[in-house]
Amino acid sequence: MRRLLSELKSRRESMVRLLERFARSESPSGDKAAVDGFGRIVAREWRRRGAKVRILGQPRVGNHVRAELWLGEGRPAGQILVLGHLDTVYPLGTLRGMPFRLSGGRAWGPGTFDMKGGLVLALFAVDALVAVGARLPKRVVLFWNSDEEIGSETSRRAIEHEAQRSDAVLVLEPAFGRAGKLKTARKGVGGAEIIITGRAAHAGLDPGAGVNAVHEMALQIARLMKMDDPHRGITVQATVACGGTVRNVVPDHARAEVDIRYARPTDQGLLNRKLEALRPILRGARVRVRGGANRPPLERTDAVTKIFRHAKLLMRELGLPLGETATGGGSDGCFTAALGVPTLDGLGAVGGGAHSSKEHVMIRSLPERAALLAGLLLTL
């Protein structure tokens, strides 16, 4: 571990330069051309390191990138899957108001922390392994999807397929907090859309002829609020609501978006059944529900605890602490953990401000995190 770390410390500047290149290639989930452009940059880096790269073409979202690397002799004794995403939540042009910059020992910019920093760590972890002449016991498959920030709809099956062939999954999502804790438990996540149809009428001349869709929506939201159960790890929140056209017309249309999170796997079905059971309250109104809870929680199972302890020991060899935490945010690690494959999440960069104008990574910790990843690839 110490040799890996000293190799990586000597590469810190190059890590920052590559992070800058990555951050300057904007890649919002909704812009296929932009994500594809960034995917090509990442693919080139892996090819340069001798990986076999396959581009998984997608018609609507950006292409996914799969890289396979074998640093060993003979036949690999298994497979380790490393997961990350190419997309960010920042629309094209964000860089103009939020440029990549270095200050206070941090690298700032859109996507630096979530999760281009993680993508950089993986590349340099491999560089360090090569530099020390390490032979890996297992084949490494790196899967970079393009739609994580919008629910991984087009990549979920491929991720699950790779996970089923893997002995462990390492997820390069950002670490938690300044201490860089790993995420050994995550809530399941879902999103639902509630679409209400009423009947329009003049609000003053003929109000009785109308069915007020906004009122119906308010009543439905009150019902959704009753599904909220924080003690059980369930949160259900209406996060977007809109409806109506002008003040003096009884609105015939309204819609709400609902964010759903749950700690227990069995609550996924329960919440979906409750959503499907929503019925109109006002006479003449119609209620339609789209979506629901779909990403399972990452449970802190024995397999997760065991792989975390292993990571902690690796960091102890460097004299560094490693903590763990539970989070309400979901990730693709939830899919792989639900299949029973040991999954370690939050192995990405240390920093803060994900999805905000304050997004940054701590430069000092880049070599340490890359060393941890390299150590895991070497010993799992």
Binding positions for Zn ion, rule: CB under 5 A: 114-115, 173
Q: Which is nearer to Zn ion, 114 or 147 (CB)?
A: 114
Q: How far is the CB of 173 from Zn ion (least distance, A)?
A: 5
Q: Which is nearer to Zn ion, 145 or 272 (CB)?
A: 145
Of 214, 235, 185, the closest CA to residue 337 belongs to: 185
Alpha-carbon gap, residue 116 to 20, rounded angstroms: 9
- Strand segments, DSSP code E, in the chain are 52-56, 64-69, 79-85, 101-103, 106-108, 139-145, 168-171, 182-186, 188-197, 201-202, 235-243, 249-250, 253-262, 286-295, 324-327, 343-344, 351-352, 360-362
Whether the CA torsion 134, 136, 139, 143 is positive or negative: it is negative
Q: How far is the CB of 45 from Zn ion (least distance, A)?
A: 19
Burial of 339 (0-12, 13-18, 19+ CB in 10 A): middle
Q: How far is the CB of 269 from Zn ion (least distance, A)?
A: 26
Q: Which is nearer to Zn ion, 115 or 293 (CB)?
A: 115
Whether the CA torsion 160, 110, 15, 53 is positive or negative: it is positive
Residue with the two structure tokens 């060393």: 371
Q: How far is the CB of 216 from Zn ion (least distance, A)?
A: 36
Burial of 103 (0-12, 13-18, 19+ CB in 10 A): exposed
Other C-beta atoms closer than 10 Å to the C-beta of 194 total: 24
Q: How far is the CB of 187 from Zn ion (least distance, A)?
A: 15
Q: Which is nearer to Zn ion, 114 or 368 (CB)?
A: 114
Q: How far is the CB of 114 from Zn ion (least distance, A)?
A: 4
Q: Is residue 121 within 8 Å of residue 346, measured between CB atoms? A: no
Alpha-carbon gap, residue 86 to 70, rounded angstroms: 22
Q: Is residue 113 within 8 Å of residue 175, measured between CB atoms? A: no
Q: How far is the CB of 61 from Zn ion (least distance, A)?
A: 15
Q: Which is nearer to Zn ion, 272 or 294 (CB)?
A: 294
Q: Which is nearer to Zn ion, 114 or 252 (CB)?
A: 114
In the complex, which residue's CB is closest to Zn ion?
114
Q: Which is nearer to Zn ion, 292 or 346 (CB)?
A: 346
Q: How far is the CB of 38 from Zn ion (least distance, A)?
A: 14
Of 243, 342, 362, the closest CA to residue 301 belongs to: 342
Alpha-carbon gap, residue 353 to 359, rounded angstroms: 4
Q: Identity (one letter) of the amino acid at 280?
A: P
Q: Which is nearer to Zn ion, 152 or 212 (CB)?
A: 152
